[in-house]
C-alpha cells in the first residue's frame, strides 16, 4: 500500500490477515450505528452483526474515522463510543478529508464506507438501506451522495433496498443512468426496506450468492468503475404492513417539513421519527433486515474469495 495512504488507514490485524490471504471480508458502516439507530440497540446490533459474519466464515470490518484515522475494523470500546456519543459527525464523501485532516471522529455513510472499503481492498459491504433520491428532489435537488459513489467505487452493497422516505422510482432511474447494477436477491421486485415489495421491478435478479459473486468478478475483469446494489428483501417474519408504513412515513415527512429539517440532517431525522411513530416496532424490523443482509454479504464474499 502506498505510504501516503498508509498513514491515514489503520486496518485491524484480523482484517489485514484475512485480506492478505484473500479470505472473505465484509465491510460495515458506522452511520447506521451513530445516526441510524438509538443507543443501546445500535451497539448491540453492531456486535451481533459482526458475530453473524464470523459465524458465516467471513471477517467483519466495521469502518469509522477515529482521531483522524480511517479505521477498518473496530474494537468493542470504539463501537461503544460511536454508539453512545450524540455529537459524532456524519461523514459522506465531501466530509471525509476534512475530518481526517482535523484528526477528528466521524461515522461513515454508505458513500464514505465504500470509499474506505475500496482503499482497504474490501469489495463486499452489508448495511440496512442506501440513501437515494429524496421525494421532491425536482425542487430541492436532494440526492444522496451514496448513489454517485455506487457509480464510481467498486464495492457491492448488500441492503434491503431503500426506504420509501425516498422517491424509489427516481432512485432506480438515477442508478440506471449511472450504470449501477441493481440486483434483486430471490425477487423480481426492488424491496422497500420494511416491506418486501415496492411495486417496482428490480432491473436484475439472482437466486444465489454464487451468481452475484460471479457478476462482481466479471465487473472486475472488465475494469468497470462502480459497484452494485444487492437488494435483499426483509425476512417475511419481520416485514411491516405497507399501509401502516406509508402512513408513518407520510407523518414523518410532514413533520420534517414543518420543522424545516434539510441537508444531511434529514435522513437521521426521518429514521428517528419512524422509530418513535411505530413505538420501536420498526427498529426490530430494521435490526432483522441488517442481520439478514450480513448473512448474504458474508456468503457473497466467501464465493468471491473462492473465485479470485
Judged by the rule CB under 6 A, the positions of this chain that interact with ligand PSU are 29, 31-32, 36, 92, 109-110, 128-129, 131, 144-146, 163, 193, 264, 267, 271
Task: Please identify, using beta-carbon distances, which residue of 191 and 305 lies nearer to ligand PSU.
Answer: 191
146 near Mn ion, rule: CB under 5 A: no
Binds Mn ion by CB under 5 A, chosen from 142, 146, 167, 303: 142
Tell me the C-alpha distance between 204 and 195, whole Å: 19
Tell me, by CB under 5 A, how many residues bind Mn ion: 1
CB of 193 to ligand PSU, least distance (A): 6
CB of 228 to ligand PSU, least distance (A): 16
Judged by CB under 5 A, the stretch of 62-70, 97-105, 107-115, 137-145 that binds Mn ion is 137-145
Tell me the C-alpha distance between 112 and 207, whole Å: 29
Judged by CB under 5 A, the stretch of 140-148, 222-230, 235-243, 289-297 that binds Mn ion is 140-148
Tell me the C-alpha distance between 155 and 208, whole Å: 18
List residues with catalytic annotation.
29, 163
Task: Please identify, using beta-carbon distances, which residue of 110 and 300 lies nearer to ligand PSU.
Answer: 110
Tell me the C-alpha distance between 88 and 106, whole Å: 5
Task: Please identify, using beta-carbon distances, which residue of 143 and 239 lies nearer to Mn ion.
Answer: 143
- Choose the one of Mn ion, ligand PSU, none that binds residue 110, judging by a C-beta under 5 to 8 angstroms depending on kind: ligand PSU
Tell me the C-alpha distance between 54 and 79, whole Å: 17
Task: Please identify, using beta-carbon distances, which residue of 104 and 261 lies nearer to Mn ion.
Answer: 261
* Surface-to-core class of residue 300, CB atoms within 10 Å of its CB (0-12 exposed, 13-18 middle, 19+ buried): buried
Task: Please identify, using beta-carbon distances, which residue of 142 and 149 lies nearer to Mn ion.
Answer: 142
Spatial CB neighbours of 257, under 8 Å, sequence gap ≥ 6: none
Judged by CB under 5 A, the stretch of 80-88, 141-149, 176-184, 197-205 that binds Mn ion is 141-149
167 near Mn ion, rule: CB under 5 A: no
CB of 26 to Mn ion, least distance (A): 26
50 near Mn ion, rule: CB under 5 A: no
- Enumerate the H helices of 241-280 as residue ranges: 242-259, 266-277
Measuring CA to CA, which residue among 148, 117, 113 is closest to residue 128? 113
Strands 69-72 and 25-28: unpaired
- Choose the one of ligand PSU, Mn ion, none that binds residue 305, judging by a C-beta under 5 to 8 angstroms depending on kind: none
At 110, list the grid cell.
454508505
95 near Mn ion, rule: CB under 5 A: no
> Three-class SS of residue 204?
strand
At 87, list the grid cell.
455529537
Tell me the C-alpha distance between 234 and 286, whole Å: 9
* Binding site residues, Mn ion, CB under 5 A: 142
Amino acid at each position: 500500500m502506498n505510504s501516503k495512504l498508509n498513514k491515514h488507514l489503520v486496518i485491524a490485524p484480523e482484517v489485514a490477515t484475512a485480506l492478505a490471504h484473500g479470505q472473505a471480508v465484509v465491510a460495515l458502516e458506522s452511520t447506521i450505528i451513530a445516526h441510524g439507530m438509538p443507543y443501546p440497540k445500535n451497539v448491540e446490533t453492531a456486535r451481533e452483526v459482526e458475530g453473524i459474519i464470523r459465524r458465516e466464515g467471513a471477517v467483519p470490518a466495521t469502518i469509522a474515522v477515529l482521531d483522524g484515522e480511517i479505521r477498518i475494523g473496530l474494537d468493542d470500546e470504539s463501537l461503544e463510543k460511536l454508539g453512545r456519543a450524540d455529537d459524532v459527525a456524519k461523514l459522506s464523501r465531501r466530509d471525509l478529508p476534512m475530518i481526517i485532516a482535523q484528526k477528528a471522529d466521524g461515522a461513515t455513510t454508505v458513500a464514505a464506507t465504500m470509499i474506505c472499503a475500496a482503499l482497504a481492498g474490501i469489495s463486499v459491504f452489508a448495511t440496512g438501506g442506501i440513501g437515494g433520491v429524496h421525494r421532491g428532489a425536482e425542487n430541492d435537488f436532494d440526492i444522496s451522495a451514496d448513489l454517485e459513489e455506487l457509480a464510481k467505487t467498486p464495492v457491492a452493497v448488500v441492503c434491503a433496498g431503500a426506504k420509501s422516505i425516498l422517491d424509489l422510482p427516481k432512485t432506480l432511474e438515477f442508478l440506471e443512468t449511472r450504470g449501477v447494477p441493481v440486483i434483486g436477491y430471490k425477487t423480481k421486485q426492488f424491496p422497500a426496506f420494511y416491506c418486501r415489495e415496492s411495486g417496482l421491478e428490480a432491473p436484475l435478479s439472482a437466486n444465489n450468492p454464487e451468481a452475484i459473486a460471479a457478476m462482481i468478478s466479471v465487473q472486475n475483469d472488465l475494469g468497470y468503475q462502480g459497484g452494485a446494489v444487492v437488494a435483499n428483501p426483509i425476512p417475511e417474519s419481520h416485514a411491516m404492513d405497507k399501509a401502516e408504513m406509508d402512513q408513518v412515513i407520510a407523518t414523518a415527512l410532514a413533520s420534517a417539513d414543518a420543522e424545516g429539517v434539510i441537508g444531511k440532517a434529514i435522513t437521521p431525522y426521518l429514521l428517528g421519527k419512524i422509530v418513535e411513530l411505530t413505538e420501536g416496532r420498526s427498529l426490530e424490523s430494521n435490526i432483522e433486515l441488517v442481520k439478514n443482509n450480513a448473512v448474504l454479504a458474508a456468503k457473497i464474499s466467501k464465493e468471491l474469495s473462492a473465485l479470485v
